[in-house]
Chain A
């Protein structure tokens, strides 16, 4: 049994989770300080990928990153890199899909943060970075860790947008989810079932982790 899809899925989910961890938290930190109207607009925009069908996300990504479209063409011309139909293409898809998850959990955590702690930091002469890393992040860790794990799990299971932008090439762009579909489509039920089991196991472990983190932090 070729384990490439497992490796590729973990790689894609890992990279996009690390990226979105930073971008999502930064976006949340930025948005909570905005005036109400702008906040509402950006919040809507940032949450949109959560409710859109992944195929719509995939379509929009192709419209931007595809070889005949501006960003994709520019990259190909300057760096000789094709942004679609490569293993890393799936990173774009998973990143967009999990961004709202990370952003929303981080925003929720930050909104529950006691603002007087920021003020206390300021009156003690501490800069914002210190307060953010030493006070705010530890305070919000439960929500942020849960959001991160959830994002990773979702990235691992991403199918729709991934299949559109990265396709299915065995040994190159195949992920667990695309492999399951392909195996089922080609009547290789036994192997498809193995991958299904692997997927369920990984997801179960991830969810157990979330529960463990949350129950530990309640103490």
Chain B
């Protein structure tokens, strides 16, 4: 089930220019806020009409500017989970589910093996107890469950999730994410998940699209993109804190211009098009190892509840989980840290 999007849309001071293709079952779209990821999702759903291009899913043309095809959102069979859940505020939980069933029936999308009775459906989603509540009376978790149930009962061919956790308090997020993953387990079609949170994407998605300023800057398997982002912007988006301009010294050696010109050994060959390197902040190992030893010097330490952020003398960031120094408020910084050559990301500008 391939999803192909190739669209352009011009806004006053923003150009959305998306070319992506994925056969992933869980596709993540990762980008900063304002990068155009929600617009992309809305174009797939048919809520926004692109100026030109095509949208195809599973061999079905949903939008083709040249052929003047623009299937209405009602007919696309794409379920959409909105950021604020968009529950109908003047209907109860049951009313919301009934509205969705009504819509699905209208579009001929009701599956035959579903329970006849709305109450059975409500029980299946764990909503029976709160069936008569209005959306305003629901907790964040109950809203999410209701919204997801409302989408799933329409039996969508494609499920689009638009930053479902962005409006949720930090301490609830983890739980809701787990619950969402659980609910999605039974859904065997494609899910497109938009987020600016790389942890969420990494947890949920097998395929990843990176978007920056309206353009796709990288796409591929989630794991691969995190392991080898290849470009500076992809490295930044996947959370690489340390990026420096480099000059190649030899095939496996670079000089990092932004880190006091230290020379580092790399595992991969430094080709001519490599302009930067990246080092993930948690990849440093305390102490000397004989290769790529970096002097800590006068470092500044910023203390978070469960990890330390240490800024080395030459500006490098080192992230250290606190369990290594259990219970202690102060740490004795090692004189050196080292970075393994295979953990150095070679990047193009």
Contact = CB atoms under 8 A, between A and B. Distances in A.
Interface residues of B, number: 32
B65 interface: no
Interface string A74-105: 00000000000000000000000000000000
Interface of A: 114, 116-117, 119-127, 130, 134-135, 138-139
A219 B151 CA distance: 29
Given A119-B47, A119-B73, A124 B82 contact: no
Given A126-B99, A126-B102, A117 B88 contact: yes
Nearest to A124: B103
Given A116-B86, A139-B90, A124 B99 contact: yes
A172 B107 CA distance: 55
A144 to B, nearest CB: 13
B73 A123 contact: yes
Contacts of A135: 88, 90-91
Across chains A and B, which 3 residue pairs bring their CB atoms closest together, nearest first? A125-B103, A138-B90, A120-B86
Interface string B62-81: 00000000001111101110
A124 B153 CA distance: 9
A120 B74 contact: no
Contact of B79 (A123, A134, A138): A123
Interface of B: 42, 45-47, 72-76, 78-80, 82-84, 86-91, 99-100, 102-104, 106-107, 109, 150-151, 154
Contacts of A126: 74, 99, 102-103, 106
B103 A117 contact: no
Contacts of B151: 123-124
A124 B78 contact: no
8 contacts: A120-B87, A121-B99, A122-B72, A123-B79, A124-B103, A125-B74, A125-B75, A127-B74
B91 A124 contact: no
A203 to B, nearest CB: 31
Given A116-B82, A134-B99, A124 B89 contact: no
Contacts of B103: 121, 124-126, 130
A174 B332 CA distance: 97
A130 B151 CA distance: 17
Contacts of A127: 74, 106
A41 to B, nearest CB: 22
Given A125-B103, A125-B104, 4 more contacts: A119-B45, A120-B87, A123-B78, A127-B74
A119 B74 contact: no
Contacts of B90: 135, 138-139
Nearest to B89: A139
Contacts of A130: 99, 102-103
A122 B106 contact: no
Contacts of A139: 89-90
A153 to B, nearest CB: 26
Contacts of B46: 122-123
A138 B89 CA distance: 9
A78 to B, nearest CB: 43
Contacts of B106: 125-127
